[in-house]
Amino acid sequence: MAIRVTCAGETNVGRKRSHNEDNLLVFPEQHLFVVADGMGGHACGEVASAMVVETMREYFARAAGDPDATWPGREERGRTTSENMLNAGIRWCNYTIWEKGQSDQRFKNMGTTVVGFHVDDTHFTVAHVGDSRCYRLRGKDLFQVTEDHSLLNDYKKMAVLTPEEEANFPHKNIIVRACGLKQDVLVDIQRDKPQKGDIYMLCSDGLSGEVTDPQICDIMVRETELTTMVSKLIQAACENGGKDNVTCIAVRVEEL
């Protein structure tokens, strides 16, 4: 690889939930990093997010040795290998979760968000469904790479909300796109050109919903060691309420 990275990841049940429906994948051998936040109740969310981790690991390990492994769709012209692999992998996750829900009533309507990125020779490719996020810290500037597929975000596109109105929005946890709810899913994909020293951070909304972007930025700038950074971000989410499970992966660009 032309790009060399270091990474750290952690998940935490939070302060209010009895079990953890988040899952994460740190797969440096295939330059792949994923966070999934399950939903569905009665542990179904945990099943769905675990299926994402298992499916993405299996797909990328298989596709690495088979350039034609782009199921469930053909390779799309104009897209890079990373874009096609992330798109196909997440759509495969979606189908396997949906199929399990169709065949077993215990898992009907389970689903999960997913955000992940793949590192190739020159770029980071970011893909997501739902409201789990990817941020990029460059110097002291934090940028939200992904755009939430949420009712709140859709509403913000139509009206200007004050911080208080946004905090008190009655349906802020409702997402409008997720893996597993339909037979196929639209995956948002972006390419980002990294610079040396950039830190990319993936998280579930248990972090972004409890910790403001300025607080996230302050912790990421202050804590230079990645394992400590991730732990401090999760700790801040728990201290601010910890109403949901909290998951975080940080990846630093060491060399280009």
Our CA dihedral for 121, 8, 190, 82, rounded to 10 degrees, sits at 40
Identify the pLDDT of residue 63.
80
d(CA 112, CA 48): 6
Compute the distance between CA of residue 237 and CA of residue 217 in angstroms, rounded to an integer: 13
- The CATH code of the domain at 4-251 is 3.60.40.10
Q: At what angle do helices 213-222 and 226-239 cross, to 10 degrees?
A: 150
For each of the chain's 256 residues, which pLDDT tens digit applies? 589 999 999 999 999 999 999 999 999 999 999 999 999 876 699 999 999 999 999 999 988 777 666 555 567 888 998 999 999 999 999 999 999 999 999 999 999 999 999 999 899 999 999 999 999 999 999 999 999 997 766 556 666 666 766 666 666 678 899 999 999 999 999 999 999 999 999 999 999 999 999 999 999 999 999 999 999 999 999 999 999 999 999 999 999 8
Q: Where are the domains of the chain?
A: 4-251
Q: ω into residue 72 within 30 of 0, thus cis?
A: yes
For residue 252, how far is the Cα from the chain centroid? 16
Rounded CA separation 239/243 (Å) = 10
Q: Which residue has the tokens 């009533």?
A: 105
**Amino acid 158: pLDDT:** 67
Q: Which residue has the tokens 């339909």?
A: 182
